[in-house]
Structure 1
Amino acid sequence: MSHDDFAFEPIKGLPEEPPEGEHVLWQGRPDAWALTRDSLNLGWVAGYFCVLAVWRFVAVVDLMPLGQAVAASVPFLFLGALVCLILAVIGWVQARATVYTITNRRVAMRIGAALTVTLNIPYTKIASIDLDARRNGTGTIALTPTGGMPVGYLVCWPHVRPWHLSRPEPALRCIPEAGKVARMLAEAAEAQIAVPEVTRRPASPATLAAE
């Protein structure tokens, strides 16, 4: 029997119904392969084990026959393949557990495979939006908050801008059509910020007396 851990969500990716006047503009999740490649550094890990295999071969080729030297190097390649497979599974699980939501008022990020956290970032709390696009169309949209993030870098990783440890910036990591999504996000933020905020204040005693 299938079981949905997020069946309690009234709208996928949101912990509660949006307030009146708010509506969803876009929802998506990271591309699993791009997330594994960029956030888990799959290429660097694979290259590391290839270098180990070559180093092992060069170190023993003068001490034993060629076939034995190759056999002594192959275990590093198998170990590297196993590590890369584990990273690919981690990337897939992270991507499947993530839902990014853009509404006309905020960005919501449901993130975390083991510890699920939902970040709600109103447009009024975003200082800037930065796009890091790749040639294949995927990319990362980083949000610079006007204050600080309520949770730390490690809690939000990999859904943060890489290497910004002291002032973490939440990020929509490795999403498809990142350029299109970034334009939509910028337009929604500009429209929301341009809306004047009406503040209701209590009447002063002089005003009440005049009435």
Structure 2
Amino acid sequence: MSHDDFAFEPVKGLPEAPPKGEHILWQGRPDWWRLSVEALSLPWVAGYFGVLAAWRFGTLMDQMTLIGAFAAASPLLIMGAVVCGMLMIVGFVQARATVYTITNRRVAMRIGAALTVTLNLPYSQLARADLKPGKRGTGTIALDLLGETRLGYLVCWPHVRPWVMRRTQPALRCIPDAARVAQILAEAAETRVATPRITRMTTPRAMAAE
């Protein structure tokens, strides 16, 4: 029997139902493979173990047979395969636990596999959004926050702009069809910021007649 760890959510990806007048424009999650490659440095880890194995093979090939040298280097390849497999599992779990939501009023990010956190970022708190295109239509949209708004880098990782730690920039990492999502975000933010806020004015009580 299937089990949904987030069945308690009234709306997928949001801690509570949107208020009246707010509606969802887009929802999505990272591409798990691109997240493993870009955020978890999968190619670099694989290359590191490959270089170690090649170095060990090269240093031993003149001291024993080629088969013996390969056998001596193979544990490094096996270790590298295990580590890369673990990184891919982490990338898959992180992607499955993540839901990015764009509404007509805010960006919401439900992130975290072990400890789930939901970030609510109204458009009034965003200075700008930067799109970094990736491969096969994927990309990352980093959100620069206004004023004194501060977020912890480690709390948001890997859903952040890499290596920007002084002012953490939360990011929609490795999302498919990133250019279209960036356009949706830009139009929603422009509309929201340009819409004047209407507040109810209270009429002072009439002054007593003199």
Classify the TM-score, shorter chain: over 0.9
Partners of 2:44 and 2:206 in 1: CA distance: 71
Question: Does the alignment pair 1:76 with 2:76?
Answer: yes
Partners of 1:171 and 1:193 in 2: CA distance: 20
Correspondences of 1:189-204 after superposition (within 5 Å): 189-200=189-200
Contact 2:150 2:168 in 1 (8 A): no
| 1:144 paired residue number | 144
**Scaled by the length of structure 2, what TM-score is found?**
0.94
| 1:153 paired residue number | 153
**Unaligned stretches of 5+ in structure 1?**
none
1:162 offset after TM fit, Å?
0.4
Partners of 1:56 and 1:210 in 2: CA distance: 97
Bigger mean CA deviation after superposition, 142-151 or 49-58: 142-151
Bigger mean CA deviation after superposition, 59-68 or 176-185: 59-68
**Unaligned stretches of 5+ in structure 2?**
none
Q: Which amino acid aligns with 1:120?
A: N
| 2:48 paired residue number | 48
| 2:20 paired residue number | 20
**Scaled by the length of structure 1, what TM-score is found?**
0.94
Partner SS for 1:163: coil
Partners of 1:111 and 1:150 in 2: CA distance: 17
| 1:94 paired residue number | 94
1:70 offset after TM fit, Å?
1.1
Task: Deviation per CA, 1:73-115: give whole Å up to 9, x if none.
Answer: 1111111111000000000000000000000000000000000
| 1:209 paired residue number | 207
Partners of 1:181 and 1:210 in 2: CA distance: 58
Contact 2:28 2:100 in 1 (8 A): yes
Task: Deviation per CA, 1:45-87: give whole Å up to 9, x if none.
Answer: 0000000001101111122222111111111111111100000
Contact 1:100 1:109 in 2 (8 A): yes
| 2:36 paired residue number | 36
| 2:65 paired residue number | 65
Q: In angstroms, what is the RMSD of aligned CA positions?
A: 1.6
Bigger mean CA deviation after superposition, 54-63 or 32-41: 54-63
Q: What is the percentage of aligned positions where both structures have the same residue?
A: 63
Partners of 2:109 and 2:180 in 1: CA distance: 18
Task: Deviation per CA, 1:175-203: give whole Å up to 9, x if none.
Answer: 00000000110000000000112344655
Partners of 2:17 and 2:149 in 1: CA distance: 23
1:147 offset after TM fit, Å?
2.9
Contact 1:148 1:167 in 2 (8 A): no
Task: Deviation per CA, 1:126-148: give whole Å up to 9, x if none.
Answer: 00010000131000000001035
| 2:183 paired residue number | 183
